[in-house]
């Protein structure tokens, strides 16, 4: 099945730095979701985006739905150690209720 | 709100036995639930879509007779791994959609770690 192209695959940053990751697709998505997964846990929904161009924040997290509907990015400002985990982008196409996932971005924050 | 639980959180079973995993939506009704499988360092792979009161829809390559899904109520779906083998060892995660909202957002359970010896 189709997967989203998520990059970077991994990031190693210092505490306090800002982080940016993105997802792209060759086809249009109607909804973009960003999840965070910690080891041994299920993904937790961080931000949901429903309209092209939409910019949404959740605390230090900001995500945008690309104008072309084929991409989305997630920014984390002033990272802290508890931000570590794997971040997944996911989206819905057309009338499908099946989520398409990216491969994830593993974030490591050094104190 | 939108809490999904799974039970058990981990299970070890012997090859050839069957294991049942429960997925519950605790504070909302879920006509539709989803079962995923996740291998180490990989993304989630959709196995099947579970619909309350009807048969599950399985993704290509997923054996429906091996992975039995039952969605008998609006808050409970179960996945039974029948005649388990070591290659079935994996992290199984369910998700649920709130029946009464228009969005397709899925809320995930904490996962079940299955180890088949």
Which pair of structure tokens corresponds to residue B4? 């999904």
In three-state secondary structure terms, B56 is coil
pLDDT of residue B99: 83
Residue A11, beta-bridge partner list: A107
pLDDT at A1 over 60: no
Q: What average pLDDT score do residues B27-36 get? A: 93
The per-residue pLDDT for range A16-25, each reduced to its tens digit, is 999 999 999 9
Q: What average pLDDT score do residues B89-96 get? A: 96
Q: What is the largest CA-CA distance in chain A?
A: 44
Q: B34 and A99: CB-CB below 8 Å?
A: yes
pLDDT of residue A3: 74
Alpha helices in chain A (DSSP H): none
Nearest to A97 among B6, B32, B43 (CB): B32
d(CA A17, CA A109): 9
A92 min Cα distance to partner chain B (Å) = 8
d(CA B29, CA B100): 8
Nearest to A98 among B46, B103, B111 (CB): B46
Chains A & B: contacts with CB separation below 8 Å: 55
The per-residue pLDDT for range A53-92, each reduced to its tens digit, is 999 999 999 999 999 999 999 999 999 999 999 999 999 9
Find the residue in B nearest to A92 (Cα). B104
What is the average pLDDT value for chain A, to the nearest integer? 94
Confidence of residue B101 (pLDDT cuts 50, 70, 90): confident
Q: A98 and B42: CB-CB below 8 Å?
A: no
pLDDT of residue B104: 78
**CA B72 to mean position of chain CA atoms:** 14
């Amino acid at each position: 099945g189709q997967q989203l192209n998520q990059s970077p695959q991994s990031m190693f940053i210092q505490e306090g730095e800002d982080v940016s990751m993105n997802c792209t697709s060759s086809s249009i998505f109607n909804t973009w979701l960003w999840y965070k997964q910690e080891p041994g846990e299920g993904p937790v929904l961080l931000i949901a985006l429903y309209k092209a161009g939409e910019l949404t924040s959740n605390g230090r997290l900001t995500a945008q739905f690309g104008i072309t509907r084929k991409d989305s990015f997630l920014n984390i400002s002033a990272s802290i150690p508890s931000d570590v985990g794997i971040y997944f982008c996911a989206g819905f196409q057309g009338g499908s209720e099946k989520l398409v996932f990216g491969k994830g971005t593993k974030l490591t924050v050094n104190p | 709100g939108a809490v999904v639980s799974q039970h058990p959180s981990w299970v070890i079973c012997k090859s050839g036995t069957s294991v049942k995993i429960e997925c519950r939506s605790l504070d909302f009704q879920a006509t539709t639930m989803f079962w995923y499988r996740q291998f180490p360092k990989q993304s989630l792979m959709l196995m099947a879509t579970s619909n309350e009161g009807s048969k599950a829809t399985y993704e290509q390559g997923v054996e429906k007779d091996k992975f039995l899904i039952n969605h008998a109520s609006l808050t409970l779906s179960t996945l039974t791994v029948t005649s388990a083998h070591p290659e079935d060892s994996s992290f199984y995660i369910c998700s649920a959609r709130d029946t009464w909202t228009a969005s397709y957002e899925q809320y995930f359970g904490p996962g079940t770690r299955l180890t088949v010896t």
